[in-house]
Amino acid sequence: MQFTDDVNWTLLDFIVAGVLLLGTGLMCEIVLRKVKTIKFRIVICVILLLLFILIWVELAVGIFGTPLSGN
């Protein structure tokens, strides 16, 4: 929005993005503190990051066509 008018985020969009980023980061931090095995830590954090990316993409462009995308 600073450089182009093609993107028009509202306050709710920024709040949702912040909650997604904060939630993913906190969940990875909890996994790193609670899970003892390095292998499981990596697997769980990768799964969390993939879920984050899938949710972000769905909210951005509606790749799956759910009502979350606003379509």
Count Cβ atoms within 10 A of the Cβ of residue 19 and give its class: 0-12 exposed, 13-18 middle, 19 or more buried: exposed
Digit-by-digit pLDDT tens for the chain (71 residues) are 778 888 888 899 899 999 999 999 999 999 999 999 999 999 999 999 999 999 998 888 878 777 776 65
